[in-house]
Amino acid sequence: MLQDAERAVVRRVAVAHIRRAEQWRAFAPTPYRLVLALHAAGLPGATACRAAADYTGDFSVYPAADTAVRDAVTRLLSAPQLPSPEDALTERWDDWTRGRSARHALTLFTLTAGAEPPLQEAAQSSRP
């Protein structure tokens, strides 16, 4: 259930979307502009990044330090050595991905693969 403060943010963003939907649709090829517009409408920075990634399909703006990314990396690596604090993971993510398309691909693949059970686990659960 949403708290009053969260409800107010959702309401502000909904009103902003109604007023600026055409303008925001034009941001699809440039998700960074949509992040800025969502942030200006009241969404916190990381939330604006996640929303822009979902809306545009461009995961280059998805926050690398997001819990979903960290959990996916942990799930994919047998002995994860994730840097802490979260800023350190963002720096490492930037080192691994040079350019927007590489960052998009690594983030999307990590989120997708991390959401699936490991192959061995999936194979065992599908046996009769």
Same domain, 47 and 68: no
Tell whether 39 is covered by a domain: yes
Same domain, 39 and 6: yes
**Interior/surface letters 49-70, b for 16+ CB within 10 angstroms, e for the rest:** bbbbbebbebbbbbbbbbeebb
Same domain, 12 and 35: yes
| pLDDT tens digits, 71-120 | 888 777 765 566 676 777 788 888 888 888 899 998 888 888 877 665 55
Structural domain harbouring 89: 64-117
Q: What share of the chain has pLDDT > 70, as a percent?
A: 81
Same domain, 3 and 53: yes
Same domain, 50 and 68: no
Report the pLDDT value the prediction gives residue 110, as an integer from 0 to 100: 87
Average pLDDT over residues 54-64: 89
Tell whether 123 is covered by a domain: no
8 contact partners, CB below 8 Å, separation of at least 6: 42
The answer to whether the predicted template modeling score (pTM) of the entire model surpasses 0.75 is no
